[in-house]
Structures are given as structure tokens and as C-alpha cells.
Amino acid sequence: MRVRFWGVRGSTPTPQKENMGFGGNTSCIEIRTDTNQILVFDGGTGLRLLGNELMQEFAEKPISAHIFFSHFHLDHIQGVPFFRPLYNPRNHFTFYFAGRRDANLVMDALAGMMANPYFPVDMSKLPCSREYVDLAEGTFTVADTRILVLPLNHPQGCAGYRIMQNGKVITYCTDFEHGVDWGDKNVRTLAKDSDFFIVDAQYTPEELPDHIGWGHSSWQQSIQIGIESGVKRIALYHHDPHHEDAELEKILDNAQKFHPHVVAAREGLEVTV
């Protein structure tokens, strides 16, 4: 499998020159499976760039992709209206979500963002074909992969994903706060012996005490849980909007003292497992 990062920022886009090294778009990653199927995790503003790339790659051919949402906070959905492949009737998308929600609620959450007066195109009028799938909790087969879905500790809920194919594992755990037993246990289960652990690292340890209850982790907590879970590589992800490139480099330097294979996610980074 191959992972590509299209948006790595948490909370809000940060398009300013101090952030161009790591990038200012919000959460979105693409996974190409071993059979070249397309899995997308989160639809932050990075999704717009992925859309452009897919249109180039596929040209006149139809695009089909599986788009998973960790949850529906704006930084994870705000790229959806600007994902240009939605505006082509040849294309097909399946939207997945988790957490025992009603499929109608999810459609409403996405459609609500595009409803009058927020956006000029009604989601129900989009020409592509679409399906909505509620994964609840458990293990599912999607696009030749097995995917484990478990809830994470985050205000209004969030889901973590463990994507498994041909003996390789990628774990996507963003937007969670440590310190609640069931939540920490779920992260460990999702991350166990993972080849690539993409993880919430919004705060520094110093910033954490002022952000209890905000639903995020310090990079040190996330490295620690990665070590306990035996992960092989770690990508620090969902960077705080106030952390400019220089600060992220500093965080990365410190994090690498604890685990030999840590990267800070940046737009355009590709990792093959």
C-alpha cells in the first residue's frame, strides 16, 4: 500500500509563508491499495488537491473512490465541496463513516455544509453517483482491504481506522485525547504492530495542560502509545494551526529522540508499506 498526504493541518487551514514547508491544508490522506484502488481518509481542504491530481490521472476515464470520515468537524469535511470529481456524472464515490450514526445524519452533515446560504450548489444536485455506508464498529472488507474501525475519545465522537492488506497495516488515528481507558485501549488495538501509524500530535507537552478536554494529544503521548503498540513508523499529524515550520522541525527533532522512525507529516509526502 502507498500513502500520500494531501492535508496535514488540524483545526483550520493555515496558508501563510511560515507554513509552506509542511503545508496549510487540513486533514486528508490517500491510500492506494496493492490493487490500485483509492481509499481517502478525511475530506479537509487537502481533498481539493487530490481531486485535481485524480482528474489528471484519469482524464476521460471514470473515477471511483472510497472516502472515509473520521468525524464531521469542519477541518475534516471542508474540502468536499471543492473536490472537482464530484461534478462529473461518470464518477462514483462511497462515503463511509462510523460510530453508530444514522446514514441520514451523515448525508445531512455533508449536505448541510453545502446548503443555502453556505454554498451555491446543493449536494443532492451533484452529478456523480454516491453511496453512504455506516460502518458502525468492527472489521469490514473494503476494496480488497480489511478495515478495523473503533471509536476514539474526542468531543462529539471520532473513529480510528486500521487498514490491513497482504500482511501490512496502516493505522489512521487523528483527533483523540489520551487519558480515558476505553479510548487509549482502542488506539492500542488499532495501532498494534502497525507498519505505519498516522497519529494526532497537535500539541507540545507544554501546551497540553491548557487544552484538556479539547480532544487532542501531545506528540509525546502519541509517540509513547506508538512505542507501547510496537509500531514500526510514525507520522505526526493534525499539526496545530499555531505551529509554524520552525516549531514543527523542533517537535520532530525531539520526537526522533524517542523513536527511530518518526516523520512529521507534510503535504506531498509519500510512504509505501
Binding site for Zn ion (CB under 5 A): 10, 73, 75, 175
| Shortest reach from residue 11's CB to Zn ion, in Å | 6
Percent composition of the chain: helix, strand, coil (DSSP 3-state, to 5): 30, 30, 45
| Nearer Cβ to Zn ion (83/237) | 237
| Nearer Cβ to Zn ion (101/168) | 101
| Nearer Cβ to Zn ion (177/244) | 177
Query: From residue 263, how far is each of 41, 112, 166, 224, 269 by CA, in Å?
Result: 19, 36, 24, 15, 10
| Nearer Cβ to Zn ion (69/96) | 69
| Nearer Cβ to Zn ion (11/194) | 11
| Shortest reach from residue 202's CB to Zn ion, in Å | 8
CB 203 within 8 Å of CB 176? no
Give one word for 91, left, alpha or beta, with left for phi > 0 and alpha for psi -120 to 50. Answer: beta
| Shortest reach from residue 55's CB to Zn ion, in Å | 26
Residue 92, number of CB atoms within 10 A of its CB: 14
CB 162 within 8 Å of CB 145? no
| Shortest reach from residue 49's CB to Zn ion, in Å | 18
| Shortest reach from residue 10's CB to Zn ion, in Å | 5
Cα–Cα distance for residue pair 66/117, rounded to 1 Å: 28
Cα–Cα distance for residue pair 70/97, rounded to 1 Å: 7
- Residue with the shortest CB distance to Zn ion: 73
Which amino acid is it at 257? K
| Shortest reach from residue 27's CB to Zn ion, in Å | 6
* SS3 call for 221: helix
| Nearer Cβ to Zn ion (10/79) | 10
Residue with cell 492506494: 32
